[in-house]
């Protein structure tokens, strides 16, 4: 049964990536694929995986300005879960190498997702400057501050990138806790076990309250909020 679910998950995902961007010339809206991801793709994805989703804290999401959502990351299902849980179109930040992956790169580029070049410090800084301008123009983005998927479902240490970007863009961080996706489809596993998933959205944390000198406090405050929500 897991293999059947995996097959349909991949088929469903690639159908979105191939078909949704084709409607942009007709809708005159580059965000149309993001709307489809939120309203069509993610509900289908969760249904295929056998996930029953509970979301709390939607009222904490600002609808009048862009934000940076940060969330724990422990499953391939986290993207679909966030698209379904958060009431705004989401732009994801990915490494530049994804741009050359067939279908995936095409979809991310056409839909306006943001690529970061991490090959060296200078290019990384330049990429963050470009990302900052896109956020200032109105794009809300999702970042996983752990940098990679958790191998045991526990919350790892946070990197500084999302917090530097928030201060550079002048937008708040919105902490998000995802519980249950690891049990449904853990990292480095091909087994999918249907189950419950809960998402808790915390209140925005204003980046203006921090500086480069206090960025460690920014990171600690945001991580503490996610950890507390995760332990409920």
Q: What is the CATH number of the domain that holds 49?
A: 3.40.1130.10
Give the per-residue pLDDT at 48: 97
Q: What pLDDT, in 10s, does the model give residues 41-96? A: 999 999 999 999 999 999 999 999 999 999 999 999 999 999 999 999 999 988 88
Give the per-residue pLDDT at 88: 95
Residue 195 bridge partners (DSSP)? 51
Residue 123: pLDDT over 80: no
Backbone angles phi, psi at 45, to 5 degrees: -60, -45
Residue 25: pLDDT over 90: no
Q: What pLDDT, in 10s, does the model give residues 185-221? A: 998 888 999 999 999 999 999 999 999 999 999 999 9
Q: Are 208 and 64 in contact (CB under 8 A)?
A: no
- The structural domain count of the chain equals 1
- Residue 117 burial by Cβ neighbours in a 10 Å radius (0-12, 13-18, 19+): middle
Q: List the domain range (segments joined by +) for residue 65.
A: 2-230
Lowest mean pLDDT among 55-64, 101-110, 184-193, 221-230: 101-110
Q: Are 68 and 165 in contact (CB under 8 A)?
A: yes
C-alpha dist (Å) from residue 75 to 36, 112, 163, 185, 215: 21, 23, 22, 6, 27
């Amino acid at each position: 049964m897991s293999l059947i679910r995996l097959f349909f998950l991949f088929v469903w995902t690639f159908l979105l990536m191939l078909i949704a961007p084709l409607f942009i010339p007709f809708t005159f809206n580059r965000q149309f694929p993001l709307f489809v991801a939120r309203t069509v793709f993610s509900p289908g994805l969760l249904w295929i995986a056998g996930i029953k989703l509970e979301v709390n804290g939607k009222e904490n999401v600002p609808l009048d300005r862009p934000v940076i959502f940060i969330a724990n990351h422990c499953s391939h299902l986290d993207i679909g879960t966030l698209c379904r849980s958060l009431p705004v179109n989401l732009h994801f930040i990915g490494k530049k190498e994804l741009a050359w992956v067939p279908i995936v790169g095409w979809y991310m580029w056409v839909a306006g997702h943001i690529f970061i070049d991490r090959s060296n410090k200078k290019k990384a800084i330049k990429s963050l400057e470009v990302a900052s301008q896109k956020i200032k123009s109105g794009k809300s983005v999702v970042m996983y501050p752990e940098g990679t998927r958790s191998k045991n479902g526990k919350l790892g240490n946070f990197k500084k990138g999302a917090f530097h970007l928030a201060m550079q863009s002048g937008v708040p961080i919105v902490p998000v806790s995802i519980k249950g996706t690891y049990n449904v489809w853990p990292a480095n596993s091909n087994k999918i076990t249907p189950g419950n998933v809960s998402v808790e959205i915390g209140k925005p944390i204003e980046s203006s309250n921090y500086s480069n000198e206090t960025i460690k406090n920014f990171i600690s405050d945001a991580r503490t909020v996610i950890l507390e929500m995760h332990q409920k």
